[in-house]
Structure 1
Amino acid sequence: MISKTSLSSLLSTTAPLGELDARAREVFRQVVETYLETGEPVGSRTLSRGGIALSPASIRNTLQDLAHLGLLSAPHVSAGRMPTHQGLRLFVDGLLEIGDIGEAAKREIEARLTGRGMTFDHALKEASNLLSGLAGGAGVVMTPSFEAGVKHVEFVKLGVDQALAVLVFDDGRVENRLMTLEAGVTPSVLIEASNYLNARLRGRTLMEASRELRTELDSEREQLNVAAAHLIEAGLAAWSGGESDKRALIVRGQANLLEASALEDLERVRALFEDLEEKEELINLLDHVKVAQGVRIFIGSESKLFSLSGSAVIAAPYMRAGGQTQKVMGAIGVIGPARLNYARIIPLVDYTAKILGRLLD
């Protein structure tokens, strides 16, 4: 089990609890735990029946103090209290106890991600499906951004107007992309384009070489066959034409968000669905996860993307071992309402990220 004192090694930040005495801390803890379990505001009578040895009046006074600190709020005057996003952050960083996910869940994750014939691309999609099912939110995966050097380039003609561009990388990865050929492309043109790129790309990443090669190509265009020059330009555009190609997002389980929020404000659900369409913003959010050593949590306005929908993200980087160090390749996580089951989902995300990292080794 991960204790309260060791939680800071897993999460991104810790929040001080020094402003709360023992009574306020216990009342606060029970309010948050009850709210996360039921989704309903928690009143003083519920707390007194839950084992707090205080009168309802004393509990109400404590709830009021916690509200003044910005940790609790009430949907209306006569309702009970519920944690604010600030309160949820304090609870997650300072009071939440996280247990292991259990052997059964581990076996399920491993079986679904490491089955026979499972490619890494399929494993990423399955991981997103898996987390959405186990966690009850939307599973999201940012695919890896590979940075290995190019070992070999070859264009293979498939038909009159189509070729297969084959790239072999230093790490053993092979990429095949279909390309449309212009009229007049002969086998000798394919060889000329392949030789040109092999001489200049070998040992360098596509991102490193793309801009320099385009500049060089402009100055050497007269020395190349026109069709070969066009083919090289098309290849560079296809291979390194944008981060959106290299850092795709896989989002699964959006329907879970409707079920989780059926009794809550549907306007927030609509806002969350709009947030999920902002793929570039979501990629930027997960980029912050990639610099962390473990699980990171964003609640409500802590993320610009989810400030309107008031949603939460629990995410972790997955890493590839490289010599004595580990290289972060991408990120995986769960998106849902702020009332997520943090104690259950955090270890699920953490373990799934570790399994993806093993598949890259």
Structure 2
Amino acid sequence: MIGWDRRIGQTLDTGRTLDERSGEIFRRIVETYLQNGEPLGSRNLSRLLPMSLSPASVRNVMSDLEELGLIYSPHISAGRLPTQLGLRFFVDAFMQVGDLSPEERTSIEAQMRSAERGPQADNLLSEASRMLSGMSRGAGLVVTTKNDPVLRHVEFVRLGPTKALAVLVGEHDEVENRIIELPAGTTSSQLTEAANFLNAHVSGYTLAEIRNQTEVIRKTIQTELDTLSQDLVERGLAVWSGTSELDQTSRLIVRGQSNLIEGLDDQADIDRLRMLFDDLERKESLIDLLNLAETGPGVRIFIGSENKLFSLSGSSLIVAPYRDSEQKIVGAVGVIGPTRLNYARIVPMVDYTAQLISKLSSPG
């Protein structure tokens, strides 16, 4: 059983509580909205309630709920819809999330294990994103970090009198080539000497560790190398002192964007969706997504503007971290969709998928 199990009588930030009657009316309004997106009026509400209440009495309660900021009327003579505050209160105080059925677990695991056997390393993560999209009818996403690679070998290959190729090879044969400018008069033997120095002093370290030792390395080269070779080593260090392809911090896999477009006919909604897609393209958004996943254990729910990443688009995000064999958070998996996502159903889905990725992507 996952969290989110709360009881009626939960206290609002205002210090007020909802009694059983108010809580039941509020719950029905929210559940109707989550199911079909439609406002619920007092007459229909009175027929749904387990207690006997006239439409007039229901309207009085609805007025109180509106005063608390939990519901609102989209237009005159309409029923009521939950506000963003109301959705958050519902999720925290009323929503009860169970677990996936054995059949659902079996189906998810079968799809993930099938992808795990594929020829590409990304298959598992791509399948997780695709599967979550299909099951949630939202957009499934996976944010992944590449492990900081251990540098195995450095080599300089001359391209001309004043240019060389700096070749960096990681422990898993990741290769990055960068062109560097050569100091005037550089000889082939000095290129070899500089590469040998770097291999002796940085091989076996991660790029982050190398960056932390840059000053120590610089002091060493002053005593061991001539001026031109020192300059070459400095240029080699500069290759990975900034952002390196071997050291990309995060990458995004999104499937099912088309699900978010279905049923949209209002231009404002389409514009908000375009904002969401623009947000997803920004690199800093990926880092922020990981930060969101890391700030709390298990699954986290962000509704509308609570999520600074997608606040303009008014989207909701359900996200959970996944971990490597050392229990270090290395990525996040989740679902993005409209605020009327089926939170109770998607939370265990995201949670189990994150657990499976942690299990299947870790050796042993």
TM-score by length of 2: 0.80
Question: How big is the shift at 1:25?
Answer: 0.6
- Equivalent-residue separation in structure 2 for 1:165 and 1:268 (angstroms): 43
Q: From the superposition, tell whether residues 131 and 4 of structure 1 become closer, same or farther in structure 2 (CA, over 3 Å).
A: closer
Aligned to 1:268: 272
Residue identity (%)? 45
Q: What is the correspondence of 1:301-312 to structure 2 with a 5 Å cutoff?
A: 301-312=305-316
Residue identity in the other structure for 1:292: G
Q: From the superposition, tell whether residues 295 and 185 of structure 1 become closer, same or farther in structure 2 (CA, over 3 Å).
A: farther
- Equivalent-residue separation in structure 1 for 2:88 and 2:152 (angstroms): 49
- Equivalent-residue separation in structure 1 for 2:155 and 2:131 (angstroms): 38
Residue identity in the other structure for 2:86: G
Aligned to 1:62: 61
Secondary structure at 1:249 match in 2: strand
Question: How big is the shift at 1:236?
Answer: 4.8
Question: How big is the shift at 1:231?
Answer: 4.6
Secondary structure at 1:152 match in 2: strand
Question: How big is the shift at 1:274?
Answer: 3.2
- Equivalent-residue separation in structure 2 for 1:349 and 1:185 (angstroms): 56
Secondary structure at 1:140 match in 2: strand
Indicate conservation of the 8 Å contact 1:16/1:90, yes or no.
no
Secondary structure at 1:308 match in 2: coil
Residue identity in the other structure for 2:334: G
Report whether the alignment pairs 1:44 with 2:47: no
Secondary structure at 1:317 match in 2: strand
Aligned to 1:10: none
Aligned to 2:125: 124
Secondary structure at 2:122 match in 1: helix
Q: Provide, for residues 45-68 of structure 1, a one-character-per-residue CA deviation record: whole Å limited to 9, x for no partner.
A: 222232443211111111111111
Question: How big is the shift at 1:328?
Answer: 1.2
- Equivalent-residue separation in structure 2 for 1:191 and 1:205 (angstroms): 22
Secondary structure at 1:224 match in 2: helix
Q: From the superposition, tell whether residues 151 and 304 of structure 1 become closer, same or farther in structure 2 (CA, over 3 Å).
A: closer
Q: Provide, for residues 280-317 of structure 1, a one-character-per-residue CA deviation record: whole Å limited to 9, x for no partner.
A: 13421431212321011111121222222221110001
Indicate conservation of the 8 Å contact 1:136/1:260, yes or no.
no
Secondary structure at 2:117 match in 1: coil
Residue identity in the other structure for 2:275: A
Residue identity in the other structure for 2:152: H
Question: How big is the shift at 1:163?
Answer: 7.3
1:258 to 239, 256, 261: 261
Indicate conservation of the 8 Å contact 2:186/2:228, yes or no.
no
Q: Provide, for residues 193-248 of structure 1, a one-character-per-residue CA deviation record: whole Å limited to 9, x for no partner.
A: 55333333345431232264278459647252766654553355463797xx2212
Choose between structure 1 and 2 for higher RCO, CA contacts under 8 A separated by at least 6 residues: 1
Greater CA drift, 281-290 or 330-339: 281-290
RMSD, aligned α-carbons: 3.4
- Equivalent-residue separation in structure 2 for 1:181 and 1:16 (angstroms): 63
Secondary structure at 2:353 match in 1: helix
Aligned to 2:337: 336
- Equivalent-residue separation in structure 2 for 1:185 and 1:100 (angstroms): 66
Aligned to 2:239: 234
Q: From the superposition, tell whether residues 189 and 353 of structure 1 become closer, same or farther in structure 2 (CA, over 3 Å).
A: farther
- Equivalent-residue separation in structure 2 for 1:305 and 1:145 (angstroms): 22
Greater CA drift, 52-61 or 258-267: 258-267
Aligned to 2:152: 152
Greater CA drift, 156-165 or 33-42: 156-165
How many corresponding residue pairs?
344
Aligned to 1:313: 317
Indicate conservation of the 8 Å contact 1:128/1:140, yes or no.
yes
- Equivalent-residue separation in structure 2 for 1:3 and 1:305 (angstroms): 24
Work out which of the two has the higher radius of gyration on C-alpha atoms and give 1 or 2. Answer: 2
Indicate conservation of the 8 Å contact 2:32/2:40, yes or no.
yes
Q: Provide, for residues 124-155 of structure 1, a one-character-per-residue CA deviation record: whole Å limited to 9, x for no partner.
A: 2222222222211122222125246x262244
Q: From the superposition, tell whether residues 179 and 105 of structure 1 become closer, same or farther in structure 2 (CA, over 3 Å).
A: farther
Indicate conservation of the 8 Å contact 1:182/1:227, yes or no.
no
- Equivalent-residue separation in structure 2 for 1:193 and 1:349 (angstroms): 49
Residue identity in the other structure for 2:210: A
Indicate conservation of the 8 Å contact 2:250/2:286, yes or no.
no
Q: From the superposition, tell whether residues 345 and 313 of structure 1 become closer, same or farther in structure 2 (CA, over 3 Å).
A: same
Q: What is the correspondence of 1:294-305 to structure 2 with a 5 Å cutoff?
A: 294-305=298-309
Secondary structure at 1:304 match in 2: coil
